[in-house]
Every structure is written in structure tokens, then in C-alpha cells.
Amino acid sequence: MMDGDKALVMRHPTWLQGVARKLVHKRLAALPVGGLSLYEPDGTQVRFGDGAASLRIADWDCYRRMVTGGALGAAEAYMDGGWDSPDLVAVMRYFAANIEAMRSLEGGAALLVKPLLKVLHSAHRNSVNGSRRNIAAHYDLGNEFFALFLDARMMYSSAIYPGPEVDLETASVHKLDLICRRLRLSEGMHLLEIGTGWGGLAIHAARHHGVRVTTTTLSREQARYAREKIKTAGLDHRIEVLERDYRELSGVYDRVVSVEMVEAVGHQYLDGYFDILNSRLKPDGMLLLQAITVPDQRYEYARDNVDFIKRYIFPGGFLPSVTVMSDALRRRTRLVPVALHDIGHDYARTLGHWRQRFVSALPRIREMGFDERFCRMWDYYLCYCQGAFLERAISTVHLLAVGPCYRGDMIRLGLEHR
């Protein structure tokens, strides 16, 4: 094809692309919150509503992909360079603010691919072997990769910001200390951590609160890194790192903590997960879960559909709602919930800091062998999540519960300050 012919194709959509364009425009015009400006390949600007979000479409075929793939098709088009935005977070906020109305984009031809997506996702069920594969697919990208955008302690979970001017490093340490204080850790206790990460919480708890820690992960990369850090800190006599599934753990502990690990359990296994939490905790113990949550009203839809995160970032992932966790706590444990702290906006700030670092590190990430599609996928992921947290489409909580024989000050537990 001659260069002039290519330019002509770029300037004018095909008949099918034109039909898809009209469908997408019609659905965008019906969204009730905010606004979006589209800049099309032929120079046309189309505006919907009243807002600052904008995106530039580089390929007319984006419209067909949006119609046939819905929100996931739009994400895949972005990953392939089909569209871009000067403020991707603003675009994500616009769509997150219209999340209920956005279901219309999942109708029509997009319905045809849903059964296939569900079949593909079902291959990622979180059985013992499946969980190992799912964790490896994300967390074993390499410790060097994650170190490029996480804080110094490699905390890959929401920080908690005690003030408006606090940086990521300070907020991450504050989160660790807050978890330990909420758990009322004291010297001589034995803490079980389900989901090691890179060892930051285990090291902090052992060093500053004098506890013994048993921590487990399914990621070989994380386990190796954590053991090295623990040895360097001189805490290998206090901290044991296991590479076991939570279902393979034994013993009972004074305290149990699990930070953003429940999302990797899978809804089919949630009751069993709470069975394990109950059986691993002493009757006078305390449990703290840090969990990313979806609103109760959207739980079933989110559970039953495959979105961008499930397809490309966390195979086997799912988000519980507060009610779903509380119900599992009631049905499967002896534990009594005593406090629920929402930190969703803290996660939005955390993701903003991660993305700043990620974008700054893009030259190094490319040098490490990650291609452009991977880089765009991860940038989309960070912005997708930040926009969702800012618009309360998802959130994060600290759920604190105590055993039936706990004799501490339960009123203070419930009123614990940030």
C-alpha cells in the first residue's frame, strides 16, 4: 500500500468502523457524569458532557474494538497504541464515575466474547497449584522491576498518609506501624502473616515490637528477597519465611495479619480462607485484614465478569465486598469484628506515587526487556486503579476482629485513630 493510501485509510473509517463509531458515540452521550473530548484521526473533535477528560484516537479500529470487546476491548486498544490521553487518570475517573451506566458498553457484540473470557478465566481458579501459577505470573516479574517504583521497603499495598504533605516512604512506614498498633503487638507474641510480600511488615513487626513472625508466600522471588533482607537485618532468629499455600499452614498464633492477599483467594475459596484464619488464631487472639473491596451493590457483577485486571494483571483475582467478608467472618469463624477503617483515598495517593516512579523508570524498564505493550499495559493498570479509588468504585479497608476470649479494650479498638 502506498503512503498516500495509508493516509487515506487513516483519515476515513471503514463502513464497519463507522457503524461502531456511531454506537460508541451514542453510548458516551448517555453517560450522566462529567464529560469527555475525543480527538479523532481525521482531526474531528467530539465532545460529550462537561469535563476535562480527553483522549486522542490514533486508529479508527478502536471503535470496533470497543463495541466488540467493551471496556476490555478499549483497554486492549490502548495497550496496542490505538488511543492515548494527556491525562489517563482523568479518563479513568470519568469512566469510573459512570461505572453503572458503563454497563451499556458491555452489551451488544461485547456479550459474545463474555463466555470465552469466563472460560479462559476459569483456568485460573485458585486451587493450591493454580494459586502458585497465578502468583508467579504477577509477582515473579522480577524484584528489580518492582524496586523501580515501590518504596524502599517494597510495600506493594496501600500506604496510609497521616498528613497532606507526607511522601510515600513516610506513609508506608506509618501504615506498617499502624497495623502493628492496631494488632496490639507486644514482645513475645507470635504473629502469622499470610502473604509475605517482600518482607517489609515482618521485619518491621519483629524489629520494633519484639514479636516472632511466621510469614508465607507462594512467590519464589519474594521469598528469596525477604530472606536476604531478614538476614541482613539480623532478624533470621525471629522471622521464618515459608513457601506454602495458606491451606498448608499449621499451628496457632497470637495474631494473624493478611495484607491485600484475600484478593488472590477467589470467591469459590473464600469460606475455606476464613476457616483457616479461624483455626490458625488463638481464642484470645486478634486478626487484621487489609483488603481491596468492591461496593456491595456491585459485588456479584464484579465477581461474574472478567475485567482488565483479571485478564491481564491478576489472573485468578477477585474483589470481596465488606458484607461478603463480614458474612464469611460470621459463618465460618468464632471471631468478632471490632473495627473497620476505610483507606481507599490513601490507595489513590499511593498509586499516584507509584505511577510517577514507574513513568520515570520507563527507560530502565525497557532496558530490562519489557516491550512497549507491557509498559502501556502497566501504565493503564496504575491509572485504572487510581481512577477507580478516587471515584470510590473500589476501596480498601482494615478489618479488625478478635477471638471469643479476647479481654482487651474493645472500645478503644473500634475508635483507633489514624
Closest among 56, 79, 82, 94 to 308, alpha carbons compared: 79
Strand 336-342 and strand 35-39: pairing?
Answer: unpaired
**Beta-bridge mates of residue 239:** 213
**Beta-bridge mates of residue 215:** 193, 241
Catalytic (active site) residue 383: no
Cell triple for 183: 494488632
Cell triple for 364: 530502565
DSSP letter (8 states) at residue 46: E
> 363 CB contacts (<8 Å, ≥6 apart)?
none
**Beta-bridge mates of residue 336:** 402
Helix (H) or strand (E) holding 27: helix 15-29
d(CA 17, CA 408): 65
Residue 117: Cβ within 10 Å count: 18
Give me the catalytic one of 180, 375, 385, 405.
Answer: 385
- Given phi > 0 = left and psi -120 to 50 = alpha, else beta, which region is 417? beta
Report in angstroms the alpha-carbon separations of 18 from 12, 22, 64, 67, 191: 9, 6, 8, 11, 60
**Beta-bridge mates of residue 289:** 258, 399
Cite the active site residues. Answer: 385
